[in-house]
Amino acid sequence: MILIIDDDSVVRSSLTFLLKHAGFEPEAVTGPEEALALIRKERPRLILMDMNFSMTTTGEEGIQLLRQVKIFHPEVPVILMTAWGSISLAVQGMQAGAFDFITKPWNNLMLLKSIRTALELSEQDQKQITTLDRVEADKKFHFDKIIGKSRALMEVLSTVSRIAPTNASVLITGESGTGKELIAEAIHQNSKQAKEPFVKVNLGGLSQSLFESEMFGHKKGAFTDAYMDRTGRFEMAHKGTIFLDEIGDLELSCQVKLLRVLQDQTFEVLGDSTPRKVDVRVVSATNCNLQDMVAARSFREDLFYRINLITIHLPALRERREDIPLLATWFANQQAKQNGSPVVEFSSEAKTYLRKLPYSGNIRELKNLVERTILVSGKSRLDASDFERQSQSLSSGTIPVQSSFAGMTLEELEKQSILQALEKYNGNLSHVATALGVSRAALYRRLEKYGLQTDK
């Protein structure tokens, strides 16, 4: 049973009809007293509730009812319904334990999508799935690009396996270089939309002037340099997943525009006033502390609650040291395949040495260290001393002078310079761009050109 709580008879009738048509069993009541009387006798699967039940618009009645509901049935998901201008009330509700919020007038498809997602996650929680082991994970899911079997990593993969089949929005957090983009891809590959597009957007590289054109597209002639129609990233991701990387770097003015499309999944192409609908699953990532940014008013609180229905925090590499030898071997084998060269082996001392390093740049730093050591040493078996020389040269900020650079093309030298800067500045792209004397946007183009991972 889905419980509807609203004092507006039209709203109750509309929601009852919609839910019955969708195959649910709705029960509608007019206010808190009736709702609490029903909740005391039976447990609803989900609750849809308004925030106000009298002439007041403060939302205090809704917040109080939500807290009472959570006392009786803390596991039952609650979806709040409020006017767009009162989203601040919904944010208070999210803080008090609500699952999601929908604005009035609601979009039927969006509302049903939120309801189904809430029910799916609620059912998964009740199953109390235990942490996967690596063998089981590889049999049941697509995690082939994610290397490791430490407990910290397997807890992440267990969460991914649980939430991937739903449509829940996901926020992936973690330090720079921990592999957030790979987790985003894994969520998509193990979802119902796996055969649909997976569209990546690096929001840190988008200026305010380019945001709308890049995200929503434009029509020819919409502005001075619009020589042809352009399809936006949201439209490209229709029916699939859009990955919003570096969302913490998004300017406030752009955050409002993003919130709008995430709220009702409609947008307008620049130069075309006709609203377009889009059906996408949203996965975001950041290495920023968004809660601190909300407190500092540099990130919108309503957008924060919209994107982090589920939060996955990736452990730093120093928190999963047992995975370091596996990762190092993987990177060495991948480089051998790409270059058509013999497979490089590691001595036990080399593996021990690699496990002891601090890795402020995490997996990206390990990858660059392994690849550089292989290139510079030219050996088929690497010892601890080989890695030690390279790690010391990087920590001192110097570039090892090696004859192996002789004969390299300009592009190869440029790639090596970027790799060195990434290691030196632990993947901080702003610092890397400054050190190399290029703009951040130009750095992004080069990273894409050379296939260098920019996951955070």
In this predicted structure, the answer to whether residue 55 has a pLDDT above a threshold of 70 is no
Mean pLDDT across 369-375:
89
Return the closest-CA partner of residue 308 out of 328, 291, 333: 291
pLDDT classification of 170: cutoffs 50, 70, 90: very high
Q: Would the CATH topology of 134-315 be identical to that of 318-449?
A: no
CATH class of 2-127: alpha beta
The CATH architecture that domain 134-315 belongs to is: 3-Layer(aba) Sandwich (3.40)
In this predicted structure, the answer to whether residue 231 has a pLDDT above a threshold of 80 is yes
Return the closest-CA partner of residue 197 out of 148, 232, 161: 232
Of the candidate ranges 276-285, 378-387, 426-435, the one whose mean pLDDT is the lowest: 426-435
Apex 311 CA angle, 456 and 175, nearest 5: 25
Share of the chain above pLDDT 90, in %: 48
Q: Which amino acid is at 178?
A: T
Q: Which amino acid is at 115?
A: I
Q: Do residues 214 and 222 lie in contact, with contact meaning Cβ atoms separated by under 8 Å?
A: no
> Would you call 4 helix, strand, or coil by DSSP?
strand
Check residue 454 and give its pLDDT. 59
Check residue 334 and give its pLDDT. 92
CATH topology of domain 318-449: Helicase, Ruva Protein; domain 3 (1.10.8)
User: 116-144, pLDDT tens digit by residue?
Assistant: 999 988 887 666 556 778 888 888 899 98
User: 312-351, pLDDT tens digit by residue?
Assistant: 999 999 999 999 999 999 999 998 888 888 899 999 999 9
- What does the alpha-carbon distance between residue 151 and residue 43 come to, in Å, rounded to a whole number? 35
Counts for the chain of helices (H) and strands (E), in that order: 20, 16
Q: Do residues 142 and 190 lie in contact, with contact meaning Cβ atoms separated by under 8 Å?
A: yes
Check residue 348 and give its pLDDT. 94
Please state the pTM of the whole predicted model: 0.78
- What does the alpha-carbon distance between residue 447 and residue 81 come to, in Å, rounded to a whole number? 43
Mean pLDDT across 87-98:
82
User: 180-222, pLDDT tens digit by residue?
Assistant: 999 999 999 999 999 999 999 999 878 777 898 899 988 887 7
* Domain boundaries, given as residue ranges, for the chain: 2-127, 134-315, 318-449
